[in-house]
Amino acid sequence: MSKSHRNMPELGIGDFYFTLTSQDESPSVISLIETLGLEPHIEGGYFKETDVSVASISSPYPPEPLSEETLCLTDGLRSDLGPLFRRLSTTIYYYLTPNRPQCYPHRTRSRIIHSLHLGRGRYVLISPDGHVETYVVGRNLEMGERLQWVIEGGVWQASYLLDVEDGENEGLLISETVVPGFEYADQEFLSEAGLRSLVQADQARKLEWLVRKCDKVHDKPDSKPGAKHSV
């Protein structure tokens, strides 16, 4: 294993790191992926859509996609939904694993409610005004870890899996409910240039390792849950 390590003392959070592994996903991780029917996500990690509201609403967003680049990686809008409408809500499982430990910085137009199922991870948020916030999601409530958290539309978010002190890392499994419902037309990845325009130069240098590189943005994720991945 090798450790990706960045220090961010001026952000008040100590060290940023996660462990990269050259090994296949463990049998228990693969079992969970297969049991839940998860697939690789373009953000990193794995996902499975578990609920799509039958109700739709007029879209509160412009008809133009937030990022043509994101649409090139996906199938675009749902076949039964035009650009002027959105589902009332959608829900997914989202899973970070030792082989896919990072969710690349991105934003969506809609509000996202998150709930923890297992594991620990760190979230890094960047507001449109450049304010940076970070927190740990997990079960140690006395240490300020969160079981539920909400990310408002338009806020850039990234996350990564935290190491465990003892035993095998089983990954970070959460649920996300998006309101109005998620569409890839409402999602955009953060570029290095975009990061530099949002935050101070010293912060950008310490956050740029989170950003998905151009070759990875243009590559669709591997469909094999046991395949090796690095970030």
Q: Does any domain span residue 26?
A: yes
Q: Does any domain span residue 135?
A: yes
Q: Does any domain span residue 121?
A: yes
Which residues constitute the domain of residue 159?
2-213
Counted domains in the chain: 1
Q: Does any domain span residue 219?
A: no
Which pLDDT band, with edges at 50, 70 and 90, does 73 fall under? confident
More confident: 173 or 19: 173
Question: Reduced to 3 states, what is the DSSP secondary structure of residue 135?
Answer: strand
Per-residue CA distances from 154 to 33, 107, 147, 190 (Å) = 29, 6, 22, 12
Helix (H) or strand (E) holding 157: strand 156-161
Q: Does any domain span residue 228?
A: no
Which pLDDT band, with edges at 50, 70 and 90, does 138 fall under? very high
State the Cα–Cα distance between residues 44 and 224, nearest whole angstrom.
13
Q: Does any domain span residue 67?
A: yes
pLDDT over threshold 50, residue 169: yes
Percent of the chain clearing pLDDT 70 (strictly above): 82
pLDDT over threshold 90, residue 7: no
Predicted local confidence at residue 20, as pLDDT: 62
Q: Does any domain span residue 225?
A: no
Q: Does any domain span residue 227?
A: no
Give the CATH number of the domain where residue 145 resides: 2.60.120.10
Predicted local confidence at residue 102, as pLDDT: 95
Give the mean pLDDT of 163-182. Answer: 91
